[in-house]
Amino acid sequence: MDSVAVHQSELFRWVILPMLIFSARVVDVSIGTLRIMFLARSRRLLAPLLGFFEVMIWLLAISQIFKHLDNVMCYLAYGGGYAMGSFVGIYIEGKLALGMQVVRIITRKDASALIAHLKAEGYGLTVLNGEGVTGPVKVVFTVIQRKRLPELSEIIRQFNPGAFLSIEDVRLAEEAKFPPYPEEKAILDRGTSATKA
């Protein structure tokens, strides 16, 4: 019976405890990454709430480290959890794709077809004439929701494949005109056709 208890305690000490510390660090660092993202986007209520849970989980993990200072596996789990938590947090942030971005499209090629298509799709645009190193260029500015960037990039590649893109995060945009999501567009189209009938 004593050997079973020793085996279980050794299993806990060298496997289960490090796994718990690793998991706690993955969760708290992921939350920390999201908290910073929400702070940067002025989500003032959500960021402190996430900060509370982040620190509580961190305290649980670090308290176990101090209780088991002679266990090298705990140190490895702590460091590994931090690294994995950074990866997971960045992955989640990318999937959420919150916020807005300003996209600058600079093209030497005639951009009239691109501009017409973007307007037809509901993008708000500002178009300027500019002068580049090799001659005149068109500069097109648009503010979009971050999750729409792949769609916009595809449209640009389709109409002006050699265009130069510059993309920046926007902290705040007031009265911006955003294109409707595909599902919203379908609802709007149905409503329009029903009104005409």
Query: Given the structure tokens 């931090």, which residue do they identify?
Result: 82
Mean pLDDT, the chain, as a whole number? 86
State the pLDDT at residue 7.
46
* CB contact at 8 A, 31 and 48: no
The Cα–Cα gap between 40 and 56 comes to 22
Query: Each residue of 63-80: pLDDT tens digit?
Result: 999 999 999 999 999 999
Tokens 């030497």, residue located: 108
The boundaries of the domain holding residue 169 are 100-175
**pLDDT number for residue 134:** 87
Return the higher-pLDDT residue of 7 and 161.
161
Long-range contacts of 121-127 (CB under 8 A, 24+ apart): 121/155, 121/179, 122/177, 122/178, 122/179, 122/180, 123/152, 123/177, 123/178, 123/179, 124/176, 124/177, 124/178
Q: Percent of the chain, pLDDT > 90?
A: 64
Residues 150 and 71 in one domain: no
Q: Write the pLDDT tens digit of every residue in 118-132.
A: 999 999 999 999 998
Q: Assess whether pLDDT exceeds 70 at residue 197.
A: no
- Domain CATH for 137: 3.30.70.120
Looking at the structure, tell me whether residues 86 and 111 fall in a common domain. no
Distances (CA, A) of 181 to 95, 121, 173: 16, 10, 18
Number of CB atoms found within 10 A of residue 33's CB: 21
- CB–CB of 106/163 below 8 Å? yes
So what's the pLDDT on residue 176? 54
| Other beta carbons less than 10 A from residue 64's beta carbon | 18
Q: For residue 192, is it within any domain?
A: no
Q: Are residues 9 and 25 in the same domain?
A: yes
Global pTM reads 0.70
Regarding whether 112 and 84 lie in a shared domain, the answer is no
- What is the number of structural domains in the chain? 2
Residue 41's pLDDT is what?
79
Identify the sign of the CA torsion 21, 26, 29, 32.
negative
Asked if residue 8 is part of any domain, the answer here is yes
pLDDT tens digits along 142-195: 999 999 999 999 999 999 998 999 999 887 777 655 666 655 555 555 555 554
Assess whether 104 and 92 both reside in one domain: no
Angle of helix 46-67 versus helix 72-96 axis, rounded to 10: 160
State mean pLDDT over 73-93.
96
Other CB atoms within 10 Å distance of the CB of residue 56: 12
